[in-house]
Each structure stands twice: as structure tokens, then as C-alpha cells.
Amino acid sequence: MDGVTVNEAAADINNDGTVDLLDSVILSRYIAGWEEYKVYFAI
């Protein structure tokens, strides 16, 4: 995957130090409008 970079600080949504499927799940549910997941995106 040369030429593809990931901003790990941004992609690590739950801030557990790794970017994995769980981060993807959280993002998907946030986009789907699950209220309890909005906390991960609060500023």
C-alpha cells in the first residue's frame, strides 16, 4: 500500500493506542447516529 498513509492519531477514535476494527465500528455507529458514540467525537 505504498503512497497510502493513515493519520493514526485521528483514526484511533477510542484512543487506546491502536487503529483497529473497533475504531471502525465506533465511527460507523457514530455516522449511523448512535447517541452514545458521540462522546468519542466531543471536543
Least separation in angstroms between residue 1's CB and Ca ion is 19
Residues that bind Ca ion (CB under 5 A): 12, 14, 16, 23
Closest approach, Cβ 22 to Ca ion, in A, equals: 6
CB of 12 to Ca ion, least distance (A): 4
Pick the closer one to Ca ion by CB: 2 or 9.
9
Q: What is the grid cell recorded at 7?
A: 493519520
7-15 contacts at long range (C-beta below 8 A, 24 or more positions apart): 13/40, 13/41, 14/40
Could you give the CA distance from residue 20 to residue 9 in angstroms, rounded to a whole number? 12
